[in-house]
Amino acid sequence: MDYKQSGVDIDAGNEVVRRIKGLARATFTPGVLSEIGSFGGLFRLGERGQGDPVLVASADGVGTKLRVAFMSGVHGTIGSDLVNHCVNDILVQGAQPLFFLDYLATGRLDPDVAVQVVGGLARACRENGCALLGGETAEMPGFYADGEYDVAGFIVGSVQRDRLIDGRRLAAGDVLIGLPSSGLHTNGYSLARTIVFDRLKLGVHDDVPELGVTVADALLAPHRSYLPAIRPLLETSPGLIKGMAHITGGGITDNLPRVLPSGTDAVVRVGSWEVPPIFRWLERAGAVPREDMLRTFNMGLGLILAVAPADADRATGALRGAGEQGARVIGEIAAASPGYAPAVRYEA
């Protein structure tokens, strides 16, 4: 026997690397000092003496949204989901991305599928000004079912230390501003798939009259990046944003408290924004309690930021000027009993 007969096709792996080199090279920024194929990617942070930069790093995946990609045969948006998710995770601390690394693992390497996934990675990296510095493609026969894969990403960004956003300055009375999501993003898919495929018995290409699109279109809507909307505020109005939360797994309920200091809670008025149709459809079809919806899905808000009361109008105006017409005040920070973990209080 040889390696190919045991399930690993080295030639297919080399073909993937050959085809994705150009995709990755197109994302390179001036800080990149290496080529795709090196054992390690090289990136120059900057010249010495340029302030006090802090590196901010994060790693993530796209969860069971992958199952919808497998079922539909649509793989071109998965890479964008991954990059944008990671970009948002470091953005909430004021960091802008420098470079990205990916890990793609599969049972049998399909070069066409791999290139679709990496093409999405490269597209999102270019859009976010982030270099796709390298990655790993692993063929693991017997570990993944045929036609399945997993993908994860690792991002590094930087922010000047005196512009780091960590929520420490948040205080009672600060205003919460929500920015709209573009759908489920990358969270809540285990519940969504159970409702759609098990309870409703829909196929991935079936139409959903309530939404005006197919199941695949609804569930594969890309996770959006908030960098284009937030970057102008970070650059022109440092200190304006006192805290930010990326609304991912755990929804508003679990993510917003992560940025709150002790002795505060978040008061969120659930009627202050329009919940998109896809969430209303899932809630109704699955008979999901509202508290579970708020702790599972983003419910139409992908990013929440906090500013001082005097800055609320300026912040919302700047966001809308950057194209965020859906930016709106959704609540405020309130005083809470010290010694208790911060929480979200929902009001009608």
Domain boundaries, given as residue ranges, for the chain: 10-163, 175-347
Q: Which residues contact 324 (CB under 8 A, 6 or more apart)?
A: 179, 180, 229
Whether pLDDT at 188 is above 50:
yes
Whether pLDDT at 2 is above 70:
no
Q: Which CATH number fits domain 10-163: 1.10.8.60, 3.40.50.300, 3.30.1330.10, 3.30.450.90?
A: 3.30.1330.10
> Mean of the per-residue pLDDT values for the chain?
92
Who wins on pLDDT, 266 or 340? 266
What pTM, to 2 d.p., does this model score? 0.91
CATH number of this structure's domain 175-347: 3.90.650.10
Residue 39 has a pLDDT of 67
Q: Which residues contact 139 (CB under 8 A, 6 or more apart)?
A: 7, 8, 9, 12, 13, 105, 106, 107, 108, 109
Percentage of the chain lying above the pLDDT 70 cut: 95
State the average pLDDT over residues 186-200.
Answer: 96
Residue-wise pLDDT tens digits, 107-130? 999 999 999 999 999 999 999 999
Closest CA to 64 of 296, 302, 303, 276: 296
Residue-wise pLDDT tens digits, 284-320? 999 999 999 999 999 999 999 999 999 999 999 999 9
